[in-house]
Amino acid sequence: ERALDNDKTKAQHVLIEIQKLYAVEKKAKEQNLTADQIKELRLKESLPIINELGKYMFVQMKLTLPKSQIGKAFAYSQTRWDNLSAYLYDGNLQIDNNLVENAIRPVALGRKNYLFAGSHDAAQRAAMAYTFFANCKKHDVNPYQWLKYVLENIQSINHKNITDLYPHNYKKAISDAVE
Do 45 and 16 fall within a single domain?
A: yes
- Predicted pLDDT at 76: 93
Domain boundary among 89, 118, 134: 89
Do 85 and 6 fall within a single domain?
A: yes
Q: Count of domains in the chain?
A: 2
Is pTM beyond 0.75? Reply is no
Please write the tens of the pLDDT for every residue from 75-120.
Answer: 999 999 999 999 999 999 999 988 777 777 766 666 666 667 778 8
The percent of residues in the chain predicted with pLDDT above 90, rounded, is: 53
Residue 5 — pLDDT band, cuts 50, 70, 90? low
Do 135 and 159 fall within a single domain?
A: yes
Do 43 and 10 fall within a single domain?
A: yes
Do 75 and 127 fall within a single domain?
A: no
Do 120 and 71 fall within a single domain?
A: no
Q: Considering only CA atoms, which of 150, 7, 120, 17 is closest in space to residue 72? A: 7
Do 131 and 84 fall within a single domain?
A: no
Host domain of residue 67 = 2-89
Do 21 and 74 fall within a single domain?
A: yes
Domain boundary among 25, 54, 89: 89
Do 167 and 121 fall within a single domain?
A: yes
Do 79 and 130 fall within a single domain?
A: no
CA 22 to CA 20: how far, in whole Å? Answer: 5
Domain boundary among 54, 89, 124: 89
What DSSP string describes 94-134?
-SS-HHHHHHHHHHHHHHHHHTTSSSHHHHHHHHHHHHHHH
Do 24 and 74 fall within a single domain?
A: yes
Whether the CB-CB separation of 139 and 167 falls below 8 Å is answered with yes
CA 29 to CA 55: how far, in whole Å? Answer: 28
Do 126 and 84 fall within a single domain?
A: no
